[in-house]
Homo-oligomer: A and B are copies of this chain.
Amino acid sequence: MARAASTKGPTRIQREKTEAILEAALEVFATYGYRGSTLDQIAAKSGISKPNILYYFDGKETIHAKLLARLLETWLEPLEHLSDAGDPVDEICAYVGRKLAMSRDYPRESRLFANEVLQGAPRILDELAGPLKTLTDKKSALIQSWINAGKIKAIDPHHLIFSIWATTQHYADFDVQVRAVLSDKADARFEQAAEFLDTMYRATLTP
């Protein structure tokens, strides 16, 4: 079996191969979705034979589950960092910036998530209704407290968060479209987006 004895951790080979498989799988799943992806594609991309992949993972489902679990760990992080330390408007704009940076630096993760949610989130519905909702409610309350204190304009906190998710993830999920429309100016899309979004959210929030 691939699982090493409980006392020792995974061997070097196990770590390397497991990582190579997950790396290739992320690429494939993010591009074609769960059902559209095949073990043969992952095998080809990782350079690891299909039976060997199944030596390290129980099956296609398990690989996908592992990727999603990893993703969810880091996905909520930017929002968690939203605190009442600094100026509310700056705080929210900083969150927008972090989220946009994630679209730039981890577009595959964004697409993996988008594919999953778009298809009804069959494998992560519990996470959405649980941890995600809990965190969103908590941060919405924080935003509401800022509104009550007159520090930002009165808007619906939940929908503000939705709009931030939508506008930032758009640059990863709809990248092909963004590039097609911007064509020659596409290279600067993230800098342009950063400036536009900063302007928009400052205008929206500044009292």
Q: Which A residues are within 8 Å of any B CB, using their own CB?
A: 31-36, 111, 114-115, 117-121, 125, 128-129, 132-133, 136-137, 153, 155-156, 158-160, 162-163, 165-167, 169-171, 173-174, 176-178, 180-183, 185, 192-193, 195-197, 199-200, 203-204
Contact of A128 among B36, B169, B180 (CB under 8 A): B180
Rounded to whole angstroms, the CA-CA distance of A117 and B111 in the bound complex is: 11
Which of chain B's residues has its CB closest to A129's CB?
B180
Q: How far is the CB of A141 from chain B (nearest CB, A)?
A: 13
Also in contact, A121 and B176, with CB within 8 A (given A36-B33, A36-B34, A181-B133): yes
| Oligomeric state, in copies | 2
Smallest Cβ distance from A147 to chain B, in angstroms? 12
Chain B nearest CB, measured from A81 CB (Å): 19
Distance to closest chain B CB from A200 (angstroms): 5
Inter-chain contact A180/B132, CB cutoff 8 Å: yes
Q: How far, in angstroms, from A162 to B186 measured CA to CA in the complex?
A: 13
Q: Are B162 and A170 in contact (CB under 8 A)?
A: yes
Besides A114-B173, A125-B180, A163-B167, 14 other A-B contacts (C-beta < 8 A):
A32-B119, A33-B33, A36-B36, A114-B114, A117-B173, A121-B177, A133-B183, A137-B181, A153-B203, A159-B193, A159-B196, A163-B170, A165-B174, A200-B200
B176 A128 Cβ-Cβ under 8 A: yes
